Amino acid sequence: MSALIIEETGWRTRVSKLLGTRFPIILGPMRLITLGAMAAEVANCGGLGVIAASGLSAERLRAEIEIALSQTKGPLAINIPIYRSNALEALEIAIEMGIKTIYTSAGNPANMIKRIRKAGLSMIHKVSNEKTALKAQSAGVDAVVAMGFEAGGHVGREKITTMCLIPRLADILSIPVIAAGGIADARGTAAAFALGADGVEIGTRFVASAECPVPDFFKAAVQSADSEATLLLGKDEMPIRVLKNQVTLEVSKMMDDKADKVMARSGEANYVQDGGDKDTAVMPCGQIAGVVSRSMKIRDIFSEIISESMRVSQRIQQILSLDGQEPK
Ligand SMILES: Cc1cc2nc3c(=O)[nH]c(=O)nc-3n(C[C@H](O)[C@H](O)[C@H](O)COP(=O)(O)O)c2cc1C
């Protein structure tokens, strides 16, 4: 597979234009996982490298941004969950350090947009239903990341899948939609474009990448997962999709209140640094882990998605060509 394909080509959409990327492919923010080095590598491959600010002190956030800036000249974003008490502090750090895109989630984007506009930055916001998508558009964000129910991590209470959420938002919004949830390869990427998205966000597949700083048992669990390997924890208030293992199966059997307390604890637990093992760690993961069977370098994941997309597009053209021939 030629790595050159990502150096010499590009996909032009409203999202690649907005973010200044060669490809409208975004590294899904993951708390204490998508830090400086991983974000830089995605940016070097032509995507948007996202550093998750969640769980980082001001000093650590600065240090991770420094790492990213020292390893890439490509486009970077900082993900800031709005409800967190240090959200404004993280925003000021991002502005001061020259980050061009602010990627907000979990809260009302109207609370931050003035400052982001004043600094001249782009703003994207994560949603999982129509109402919050419309609200984000009214607040003035540049694009939404729309996350379907099959995604890894915290998912929408409304349980809307990517297949249904993306075309609906493409119909009702005028700003671009970035599809997240259930996308791991060229097939999912092409499908997202077919549904009306202008970009894709990938999480689970990048967890299994060579550069991802999670423990090997987590990467191995993603690679051996099938499409039924995940379950939802947490009350209806804050569902989170994780891999089934000893601890999550136990928690899922508890009454909701108790399960929420356990989740609240594990939500703060840092499984990357604190360890745990395949039976005791809580490992957020999407249903699409079923198609992830290898750990690859981020550069090879990009090359594969880009080159395979041409094959997928040829297949679609063949089917839709009306000549009645069986597609290869
Ligand atoms: C291990 C893991 C941790 C995640 N942590 C966060 C997070 O801290 N904040 C966030 O907005 N999304 C988080 N997500 C969701 C991703 O950003 C992304 O939207 C999602 O993984 C896309 O769906 P996919 O898993 O099907 O690729 C996480 C996902 C995974 C798999």
pLDDT bin (cut points 50, 70, 90) of residue 62 is very high
Nearest CA to ligand 1 atom 6: 30
Predicted confidence (pLDDT) per residue in 206-243, tens digit: 999 999 999 999 999 999 999 999 999 987 678 999 99
Q: Is the CB of 204 under 6 A from ligand 1?
A: yes
* pLDDT at site 86: 94
Write out the residue limits of the CATH 3.20.20.70 domain(s) in the chain.
Answer: 12-202+297-319
Whose tokens are 């490298």? That residue is: 49
CA of 327 to the centre of ligand 1 (A): 35
Q: Is the CB of 29 under 6 A from ligand 1?
A: yes
The answer to whether residues 76 and 101 touch, using CB atoms and an 8 Å cutoff, is yes
Say if residue 157 is exposed, middle or buried (CB neighbours under 10 Å; 0-12, 13-18, 19+): middle
Task: Retrieve residue 41's tokens.
Answer: 């590598």
Nearest CA to ligand 1 atom 21: 203
Pairing, β 199-202 against β 25-27: parallel
In this prediction the pTM is 0.95
Look at residue 39 and tell me whether its pLDDT is greater than 50.
yes
Tell me which of 204, 222, 243, 248 to substitute to probe ligand 1's pocket, judged by most ligand atoms within 8 Å of the beta carbon. 204
Ligand 1 atom closest to Cα of residue 106: 11
Nearest CA to ligand 1 atom 1: 284
Task: Retrieve residue 236's tokens.
Answer: 């209806």
Range with lowest mean pLDDT among 26-40, 61-75, 260-274? 260-274
Ligand 1 atom closest to Cα of residue 204: 25
Look at residue 274 and tell me whether its pLDDT is greater than 70.
no
Q: Is the CB of 201 under 6 A from ligand 1?
A: yes
Q: Is the CB of 180 under 6 A from ligand 1?
A: yes
CA of 319 to the centre of ligand 1 (A): 33
Residue type, 247: V
Task: Tell which residue, 206, 266, 187, 198, has the closest CA to residue 234.
Answer: 266
CA of 312 to the centre of ligand 1 (A): 25
What mean pLDDT is predicted for residues 296-312?
Answer: 97
Strand partners, 25: 200
Q: Which CATH class is domain 12-202+297-319?
A: alpha beta
CA distance 91 to 125: 14
The answer to whether residues 305 and 202 touch, using CB atoms and an 8 Å cutoff, is no
Predicted confidence (pLDDT) per residue in 152-180, tens digit: 999 999 999 999 999 999 999 999 999 99
Range with lowest mean pLDDT among 10-24, 48-62, 246-260, 310-324? 246-260
